Amino acid sequence: MNGARVLDPSIDMGCWLQVADIAYCPNFPLRYTVVRTGAPADNTMNLNQTVIFSPDVISQEVSGETVLLDLDSECYFGLDAVGTRIWQLIRDNGELRTIYNTLLEEYEVEETQLQTDLESLLTEACERGLITLQAAP
């Protein structure tokens, strides 16, 4: 793959697309919760869907990572560099097929691993109300 970024082999690929490393909820003072992506959903990801940001979520890129604030729950989430790239692709286009194909071109990752990890990320983000998935127009 020409120009593809190679992920550090010491990184556990099972969590390279985790939606949040640490979540801080002000309504639980001084409590930090480590958030890990769960197992992928039982159904297969539908690449013909479009990702829609929740209107209650704002984001800001900081040093190659992204901080998300859910205004409704008052919880903060952090995206790593790969999660940030996915957030950028969602912002730029939102079509899952385009996001998937772009990530395949940019990263050296097996298709099945990418699909599993992307599905985990999107499932977690949906469950937390950060995004919704809709059928593509």
Give the residue, 127 or 4, on which the prediction is more confident. 127
- pLDDT attached to residue 56: 95
Q: Flag whether pLDDT at 132 surpasses 80.
A: yes
pTM of the predicted structure, to 2 decimals: 0.68
Interval 34-85: pLDDT, tens: 333 343 333 346 899 999 999 999 999 999 899 999 999 889 999 999 999 9
With beta carbons less than 8 A apart as the criterion, state whether 13 and 1 touch. Answer: no
CA torsion, ordered 14, 15, 18, 21, to nearest 10 deg = 160
**CATH code of domain 19-135:** 3.90.930.60
User: Domain extents for the chain?
Assistant: 19-135
